[in-house]
Chain A
């Protein structure tokens, strides 16, 4: 298993490299003329060139052949691509254009509020959806089961934005139950967490229910029933354990959605996390911050997926054989 884990961990390197490559292609190769857009119409040529240099947008894209020929081969790597790689390795993305703060500081400050919001949503959602799916599987083909399916498909079809708007308006403004804006105490987190959980629940419950029902067809379930195990034992002892594998897979699929979902929650509730930072950056065309957020978000996801795969190996003994 150790070999598997090491192999899986090493796979992170090409993936991070790939992410760096596509963000680079997106921002530097295809990219728009960020410097002149940020400075506005009346910027002089010198200002634009200076900013381009600061953003790492000046000079050749991949390899600096010209400088290499003139000043020796070490200058070959004096290009936009290697500048960007250096930024990633040293975790130094320069300064925000809007606030002139260091981006790495902004990121680290944003990490805490983001996690405080994301982790409860994540945990509550998974526990609730597995519980509801188990109940639905237990009462399969009854009105309870069908009702749950219909309810959650309906919930799935409403826009995320509407949940937030209506939640804020009804619970926050009309009933005055929760504060709407800010990040000061736990009370400020209840409403966004609740909205996050409710809006994400539909897809999860539907998927987990299918997984559990799929498991009900396996031979081991028939065997368990045949030897006289009760409905409850089969469901909780046999099915739940086996269903954990697809459940785990799905958990990892939720992580990026969580990040992006929080983007909206954070902007609506004024929680100063990474999502808030990203949206602010987009509104003010803060090029270096957008680039850094995309990159950091991707790296977080890569490591989350690594963690899940390792859990996988721990949960599922069959993986050892591979």
Chain B
């Protein structure tokens, strides 16, 4: 067989085989529930971007934003056209506050991921790939971090760094990397003896190139799943921290609205509580369901769990 024929045979391959991502996307698209959830998440993301622009617009202009405007003789107003969800104890519009809460929820979700995921990936990869001493050290490290009760740890971090968004994000970020790190360590442990890794190594590829360019793409789906499942957790934790008084300061987060509504509930003013709860409920639910669908689509091993058995 001449090389020309071989060449033709290679170039004639009808189409590239579909990648894991394409298969996953196809499967997710077939899942109606997941698509609805994706729509909900996209909607919330748009709201968050809008709220972010409102926030920065007024901040740059150094004016008081409308969601902080106090109408003192219009407190605890019931829903009307002007205030679609009524007003709170200071006469601030609840609807606008819920929108701003979306912004803060997204900020918390994204910032904590930016902190936690790199730590988890780097430590998990090093531990699983190199093994031995490094592995012992990293396993020890995450066992230690795992041992500190996470809420107390976050509170302590927030006390040290300072109350507010940054403290909360660093606190949540530093406590939630352990799960993903443990998972990735296991995966790297499995992958480091696979044939493609051995092949790369025998070609003289460096350890770090193998870790990040060869193995990482093969475990990347785990990172994406972990991202979508950590997001709701971060939002729920922010609520609790706001109640405990170390959350976001001076801005209307859902947590602050819920903890403010605590006292007003007894007086029969439930709009604020219900508004913040419902707003939070849908995004958390959407992320939970979408994360599940994503896991089913991206992790073929787990897919069997949902299939039919004997």
Enumerate chain A interface residues (CB-CB to B < 8 A).
14-15, 18-19, 21-23, 26-27, 30-32, 140-141, 153-154, 156-162, 165, 169, 173, 210, 213-214, 216-217, 221-222, 225, 256-257, 259-260, 263-264, 278-279, 282-283, 285, 290, 293-294, 297-298, 301-302, 305
Contact = CB atoms under 8 A, between A and B. Distances in A.
Contacts of A305: 147
Contacts of A301: 147-149
Given A153-B288, A160-B236, A210 B147 contact: no
Interface of B: 140-141, 143-153, 155-157, 159-160, 232, 236, 239-240, 243-246, 255, 258-259, 261-262, 265-266, 273, 277, 280-281, 284-285, 288-289, 292, 302, 304-306, 308-310
Contacts of A210: 302, 305
Nearest to A149: B292
Contacts of B284: 156-157
Given A161-B258, A260-B150, A278-B152, 8 more contacts: A19-B144, A22-B145, A23-B156, A26-B160, A156-B288, A157-B281, A161-B255, A259-B151
A216 B153 CA distance: 39
Nearest to B142: A18
B149 A260 contact: yes
A251 to B, nearest CB: 15
Contacts of B259: 161
A207 B258 CA distance: 28
A256 B236 CA distance: 16
A27 B159 CA distance: 9
Nearest to B236: A159
B292 to A, nearest CB: 8
B270 to A, nearest CB: 9
Nearest to A214: B305
B240 to A, nearest CB: 6
B294 to A, nearest CB: 14
Nearest to A140: B309
Chain A facing B: main interface SS = helix
Contacts of A263: 151-152
Given A169-B266, A216-B309, A27 B160 contact: yes
B152 A32 contact: no
A302 B146 CA distance: 9
Contacts of B277: 158-159, 162
A15 B140 contact: yes
A301 B146 CA distance: 9
Contacts of B159: 32, 282, 285, 290
15 contacts: A14-B140, A19-B147, A21-B144, A157-B285, A157-B288, A159-B236, A159-B280, A160-B240, A161-B243, A213-B305, A222-B310, A263-B151, A283-B245, A285-B159, A297-B152
Given A18-B141, A161-B243, A213-B306, A259 B285 contact: no
Given A161-B259, A260-B151, A225 B310 contact: yes
Contact of B143 (A18, A156, A221, A293): A18
A293 B155 CA distance: 11
A216 B305 CA distance: 8
A259 B149 contact: yes
In this complex, the member of B140, B265, B305 whose beta carbon has the largest number of chain A beta carbons within 10 angstroms is B305
A256 B150 contact: yes
Contacts of A283: 245
Given A27-B160, A157-B281, A161-B240, A22 B144 contact: yes
A62 B2 CA distance: 74
